[in-house]
Amino acid sequence: MTILSAEPGGIYIHVPFCVRKCAYCDFYSNTDLSLIPSFLDALCREIRRADAPPGLAFDTLYLGGGTPSVLAPDQIGHILEAVRGRFAVRPDPEVTLEANPGTVTPGTLAAFRRMGVNRINIGVQSFSEAGLRFLGRIHTAEEARLAVRWAREAGFENIGLDLIYGLPKQTEGDWIADMAAAAALAPHHLSCYMLTYEAGTPLTRRMAEGRFRPLSEDRVGGLFLTTIRFLAEKGYAQYEVSNFACSAEKRARHNRKYWSFAPYLGFGPSAHSFIPPERRWNIASLEEYLAFSAAGKPAVAGREVLSYAQQIIEVVFLGLRQNDGIRISDFEEGFGLGFEETFGGVLSELRKNGWLKTDDASRCALTPSGMLFLDGITSMFVSMDFPESPPM
C-alpha cells in the first residue's frame, strides 16, 4: 500500500555553486564557477533522460542550492525550457529561485522575472552585520534591503526571506530586531530556521575548538516561541515549524509537497526524488556527476523503497511539522488503521502535557509548545511497533 497525495508533483533543481561556502552550511556546493557550462549541459541531459509516472503533471519548479542566482538569467531560462520540454507543467506554476543578496542586481532580477521565475526566495539570514560575519555571508544588511526592493521593482509579487536565529549570545531583543527589519520590508513569506551545527562544517569545527559557546537549548526554545508570537503580530501566520506567510496563497507551494507526501523529482548533484513509495538521491559530487553524465549513466547514488511501516512514520513526522497537522480521515483511509486505536497512548500523553491541539477533532496537530519538542514527540510515535503490511 502507498499513500499518494492528490497534488500534482514538484521539480527541484540543485544548482551546486556558491561564490563562497557559508560557515554553517552542509548543503552540497562547489565554488569553481568555471564549471557552470559543463554542469548545465549535464543537467539538461539528466532532465531529458528522466522518466515520470504516466499522467503525472507538475505545478512547482524550485531552483535551490548552492546559490542559483550566480547563474545568468539566460542560463536559468535554459533550465526552465528543458524542464517544460520534458515534463507536463501545469499552467501558472510556482517557479522559485533562491537568491543571495550579494549576487543580484536590478537587471538580473528583472531578467529572471522575464524568464518565468515568479517567486524569489532571498537568503538574508540576518540584518545584523555581526551576525552576517559570524555566519560567513558575502552580503551586507543594506544589500539585503536593496535586493528586496529590486525584486519588487522587477515585478515579483511573491517574495520570501530566510532568517536564522539562535546565534551565540543572541538575545530576544536581537532576534526581534532582525524580525522587525524583515517585516518592515513587507515580504510575503518568511522562513525562520534555528541555527544547527552540522558535522564537518567550519562553524562546528570552530565550536569544537572552543572559539564560541552555542546558545543554550532553553534560550533557543524561547526564541522559537518569540518568533511565533512576534510574526503573528506582524500578520505572518505559521503554517510549518519554520515557515510563515502573510496569507494562505503565499505559502510555499513547492515546500509543502515535501510535507504532504506528494511526488517530486530532483535534478543535479545531491538532489533527491520521491515517487511514492520510492526515494532516490543523486551523487553529491559535481565532478562525479559530470563524469556519469558524459558516460551516459544516471547519477543516482542510492534508492530506497519505503515499507508500509516506514510510510506511516513518514506521514506522522511530516504531518506533525505542519500547523494543520495530520488529517485523521486521510490517515485512516490510506493505512487502514484507526488513528486513536493506533496512537491512543501517545495522544493521551501529548494532551496531558498540553502539546496537542484539541479544538479540531478531525486533525492531530501540535501546539506551539508541542512543536518545540517536535523531535522528541516524533520519537514517541516512531518507537511504536507497526505492522509490516496493511490489515486485511
In this prediction, residues 107-131 reach a mean pLDDT of 98
Residue showing cell 549570545: 169
Q: Report the chain's terminal Cα–Cα distance, integer Å.
A: 12
What mean pLDDT, rounded, does the chain reach?
95
In this prediction, residues 241-249 reach a mean pLDDT of 98
Task: Name the E strands within 100-229.
Answer: 119-125, 159-165, 189-194
In this prediction, residues 238-254 reach a mean pLDDT of 98
Between strands 58-65 and 89-99, the pairing is parallel
The per-residue pLDDT for 91 is 95
pLDDT over 70, % of the chain: 98
The per-residue pLDDT for 98 is 98
The pLDDT of residue 1 is above 60: no
Domains and CATH numbers, the chain: 9-259 (3.20.20.70), 308-382 (1.10.10.920)
Q: What are the pLDDT digits (tens) for 270-324? A: 999 999 999 999 999 999 999 999 999 999 999 999 999 999 999 999 999 999 9
Whether omega before 73 lies within 30 degrees of 0, making that bond cis, reads no
In this prediction, residues 326-346 reach a mean pLDDT of 92
Amino acid at 331: F
Model confidence band, residue 3 (pLDDT cutoffs 50, 70, 90) = low
Phi, psi at residue 153, to the nearest 5°?
-65, -25
In this prediction, residues 24-41 reach a mean pLDDT of 96
Q: And the C-alpha cell for 194?
A: 534555528
Q: What are the pLDDT digits (tens) for 349-382? A: 999 999 999 889 999 999 999 999 999 999 998 8
The per-residue pLDDT for 5 is 58
d(CA 92, CA 82): 17
Residue showing cell 519588487: 152
CB 232 within 8 A of CB 192: no
Model confidence band, residue 205 (pLDDT cutoffs 50, 70, 90) = very high
Dihedral in degrees, nearest 10, Cα atoms 115, 266, 245, 196: -120
Between strands 326-327 and 363-364, the pairing is antiparallel
Model confidence band, residue 215 (pLDDT cutoffs 50, 70, 90) = very high
The pLDDT of residue 136 is above 60: yes
Q: What are the pLDDT digits (tens) for 74-99? A: 999 999 999 999 999 999 999 999 99
d(CA 62, CA 117): 9
pTM: 0.95
Name every residue whose Cβ is closer than 8 Å to that of residue 234 and which is 6 or more positions away in sequence: 179, 183
Task: Give the count of beta carbons closer than 10 Å to the beta carbon of residue 131.
Answer: 22
> For the chain, how big is the Rg over CA atoms in Å?
21
The per-residue pLDDT for 349 is 94
The per-residue pLDDT for 392 is 65
